[in-house]
A and B are shown apart, each in its own frame.
Chain A
Amino acid sequence: MTPDGALLSLDGISRLYQVGSEVVRALDGVSFEVQRGEWLAVVGQSGSGKSTLMNIIGCLDTPSGGTYRVNGHDVRGMADDALADLRNREIGFVFQTFQLLPRSSALANVELPLVYRGLPRRERRLRAEAALRAVGLGDRMHHRPNELSGGQRQRVAIARALVGEPSLLLADEPTGNLDSATGEEIIRLFEELHSRGHTLLLVTHEPRLAARCPRAIRLMDGRIVADGPGREVAAFGTAPVVTA
């Protein structure tokens, strides 16, 4: 583990699926690095391979070929339990549909990653409360998801992603189920988190959102076709800044 190296390092990542008798290349030789404190968007049409890439970066899936390192850990050949622990420590997930547990309070939802880490109850409680306050929900801790608005639910989900102090916040279409005003609030929250030094990776098909990110990567047919400032990569039709 090299503390001053890149946080994420992908080298020649490929992912093949067997569909019937055909082999589909969802990712084909993807290489890039993400430094600590970066805010990066991965954009692309559906079918471009961005979901597959997100699953691999999130350690939910492992590549068929190439090397992927998170915070110095090579995921190749890792056992399922080790991957689960890696997700717990290094990755905070934010999903398009929030994915909160409906029967649990906001606080219990946020505590969950710490349960899986084996922290004592009191510490879990304190850290979950702090995380909810950090996303502006200090007064909604004991509400259940169905008592919260869409924007509030996504804030709970972000608090849950942050509570374990992961290296990377991985968000999949985080504004996809929100109206534009609420979506804007969430983007502001991301900006704030970025300014506080968090590393963020957004997967989205919305150019508008990618344009707000300092850096963006465009995928097409499983390959990186653009990697550069968000505004430029988001603008469709402009020449690729860097080709991989």
Chain B
Amino acid sequence: MKPVRRALAELQESVRIALGALTGNRLRSGLTTLGIVIGVTTVIAIVAIIQGLNRSFERQVQVLGTNTLYVDKWKYLNLEGDWWIYRNRQPIGVRELKAILRDSQVAVAAAPSVWIRARVDRLDKELTGVSVNGTSGDYLAANGGGVREGRFLVESDVDLARPAVVLGYDIADQLFPGQPAPAIVGQRVLVAGHPFSVVGLLERRGKFLGQSLDNLVLIPYTTFQRFFGARRSISIAVAAPPGRLGELEDELTSILRRVRRVPPGKPDDFTLNKQDQLLKVYRGLTTALYGVVLGVGLITLVVGGIGIMNIMMVSVHERTREIGVRRAIGARRSTILAQFLVESAVVAALGGAIGTALGLGVAQVIALASPLAAAVTWQAVALGLGFSAATGLIFGSWPAWQAANLDPVEALRYE
């Protein structure tokens, strides 16, 4: 028990001395910590903003189902310079959709999606740039979402290419302001000038990557092709039962290679996009960003640490006689070492605490004044405090080592 108690008593004494030294030299301590404060402020602010972005991105990406594959001509977020490979591919069409519906054992739903931006209007209300989406009855099963009024598109709508439309939340709200939902169903609207009858209304879905998901109308893909042509490549959302996404991927690959007549040994001429692909690319970007922030942070901490080392050297010099007295009355070398380490760690951690608070404040201000989000996480706070205290320990160790290894006789004689 005694060594533990001794260590605790000495630690307590060290903290007391450190605080005494800090408050005894307020201006000096303030200037010393300034480097650390600036460094930690910068790092914390940037980390808070990156984490804010991460959160909103990951929340939005949930909109793409985790168990859904998207059969596309293009690859999501392709950052390599080989876009022309995708450009030259044959479009994905109804043939592929039918093959999947007919042959896939794993898929629980497969919904096509093909879209243009068009004008939607009714009486004196006119909306431009509305996303007009051609799909099928499987849309909700493959993409999520639900109907709040009326019905969704059904098989016969597709088979007969009926002029039936399901309205997204914002569209219904803007074309029929103030009207109760049941009254909207059955009314007529014009989609790109063609008359359609409203069969249902969608629930509100929110935003994905800054775009509203409620600013759309859904029509049967057959109707879409009748009015807007059949040559556009379509995207097919295919849903798998939970945990069987990999299986679905293999199965779709073989179905699509067969129906598109890809010779063995040639690469696929289609892409199976996934939600985690977006996350992967996004995480790659933020990891790089973190690397840069960490580099900047480390440089400023080194600069701040040199300031601390300098001031601790001065402090050891000034207190040489005190060190001699402490050694004479029974302080061990390790005690003196710990005392000065605690002092430099306290100075640095104090700077870290101030920097953390300032950084979070700056992040909040940026979040309020710009579209960027900011998130306060315990990791960011721990990072700020931990890094600064570590800086204090690392840069305080050389002066502390010097203090601990003073010869007590010399130290007592020091003028």
Are A85 and B325 neighbours in the complex by a CB distance under 8 Å? Answer: no
A112→B6 CA distance, assembly (Å): 12
Q: How many residues of A contact B (CB 8 A)?
A: 30
Q: Scan residues 324-348 of chain B and give those whose CB is less than 8 A from a CB of chain A.
A: 324-335
Interface residue range, chain B: 20 to 34
Question: In the complex, which residues of chain A have a beta carbon less than 8 angstroms from the beta carbon of B326?
Answer: 112, 116
The answer to whether the Cβ of B9 comes within 8 Å of any Cβ in the partner chain is: yes
Q: Which residue of A lies closest to B324 (CB)?
A: A99
**B-facing mask of A110-124, CB < 8 A → 1, else 0?**
001101111111001
Question: In the complex, which residues of chain A have a beta carbon less than 8 angstroms from the beta carbon of B333?
Answer: 80-81, 84
**B-facing mask of A77-90, CB < 8 A → 1, else 0?**
00011001101110
The answer to whether the Cβ of B10 comes within 8 Å of any Cβ in the partner chain is: yes
Question: In the complex, which residues of chain A have a beta carbon less than 8 angstroms from the beta carbon of B329?
Answer: 87-88, 93, 112-113, 116, 160
The answer to whether the Cβ of B291 comes within 8 Å of any Cβ in the partner chain is: no
Question: In the complex, which residues of chain B have a beta carbon less than 8 angstroms from the beta carbon of A61?
Answer: 409
Given A95-B325, A115-B10, A117-B6, A87 and B332 contact (CB-CB distance below 8 Å): no
Q: Which residue of B lies closest to A103 (CB)?
A: B20
**A-facing mask of B1-41, CB < 8 A → 1, else 0?**
01101110110010001001100100000000000000000
Are A81 and B2 neighbours in the complex by a CB distance under 8 Å? Answer: no
Q: Supply 19 further A-B pairs (C-beta < 8 A) apart from A84-B332, A93-B325, A116-B6.
A: A60-B409, A61-B409, A81-B332, A85-B330, A85-B332, A91-B328, A93-B328, A99-B321, A99-B325, A99-B412, A103-B24, A112-B13, A115-B10, A116-B329, A116-B330, A116-B332, A118-B7, A119-B5, A124-B9
Question: In the complex, which residues of chain A have a beta carbon less than 8 angstroms from the beta carbon of B13?
Answer: 112, 115
What is the minimal beta-carbon distance from B233 to any residue of chain A, in angstroms?
78
Are B409 and A87 neighbours in the complex by a CB distance under 8 Å? Answer: no
Are B330 and A113 neighbours in the complex by a CB distance under 8 Å? Answer: yes
Contact of A118 among B5, B328, B331 (CB under 8 A): B5
Kindly list the 7 A-B residue pairs having the minimum CB-CB distance in the complex, ordered from nearest: A88-B330, A118-B6, A116-B330, A84-B332, A99-B325, A113-B329, A103-B20
**A-facing mask of B214-254, CB < 8 A → 1, else 0?**
00000000000000000000000000000000000000000
Are B332 and A80 neighbours in the complex by a CB distance under 8 Å? Answer: yes
Supply 9 A–B pairs (Cβ within 8 Å), ascending by A: A58-B328, A60-B327, A60-B408, A85-B332, A93-B325, A93-B329, A99-B321, A104-B20, A116-B335
Are A115 and B408 neighbours in the complex by a CB distance under 8 Å? Answer: no
Chain B residues near A (Cβ < 8 Å): 2-3, 5-7, 9-10, 13, 17, 20-21, 24, 321-322, 324-335, 408-409, 412
What is the minimal beta-carbon distance from A6 to any residue of chain B, in angstroms?
23
Q: Which residue of B lies closest to A160 (CB)?
A: B329
Are A60 and B412 neighbours in the complex by a CB distance under 8 Å? Answer: yes
What is the minimal beta-carbon distance from A7 to any residue of chain B, in angstroms?
18
Question: In the complex, which residues of chain B have a beta carbon less than 8 angstroms from the beta carbon of A84?
Answer: 327, 330-333, 335
Question: In the complex, which residues of chain B have a beta carbon less than 8 angstroms from the beta carbon of A81?
Answer: 332-334
Are B412 and A117 neighbours in the complex by a CB distance under 8 Å? Answer: no
A183→B387 CA distance, assembly (Å): 53
The answer to whether the Cβ of A35 comes within 8 Å of any Cβ in the partner chain is: no
Q: Which residue of A lies closest to B9 (CB)?
A: A115
The answer to whether the Cβ of A235 comes within 8 Å of any Cβ in the partner chain is: no
The answer to whether the Cβ of A45 comes within 8 Å of any Cβ in the partner chain is: no
What is the minimal beta-carbon distance from B388 to any residue of chain A, in angstroms?
25
What is the minimal beta-carbon distance from A103 to any residue of chain B, in angstroms?
5
A89→B332 CA distance, assembly (Å): 13
What is the minimal beta-carbon distance from A27 to any residue of chain B, in angstroms?
14
Q: Scan residues 84-142 of chain A and give those whose CB is less than 8 A from a CB of chain B.
A: 84-85, 87-89, 91, 93, 95, 99, 101, 103-104, 112-113, 115-121, 124
Question: In the complex, which residues of chain B have a beta carbon less than 8 angstroms from the beta carbon of A121?
Answer: 9
What is the minimal beta-carbon distance from A154 to any residue of chain B, in angstroms?
14
Q: Which residue of A lies closest to B23 (CB)?
A: A103
The answer to whether the Cβ of A55 comes within 8 Å of any Cβ in the partner chain is: yes
Q: Scan residues 138-169 of chain A and give those whose CB is less than 8 A from a CB of chain B.
A: 160, 164
Q: Which residue of B lies closest to A98 (CB)?
A: B325
A127→B34 CA distance, assembly (Å): 42
A70→B332 CA distance, assembly (Å): 19
Are B20 and A55 neighbours in the complex by a CB distance under 8 Å? Answer: no
Question: In the complex, which residues of chain A have a beta carbon less than 8 angstroms from the beta carbon of B408?
Answer: 60
A49→B409 CA distance, assembly (Å): 14
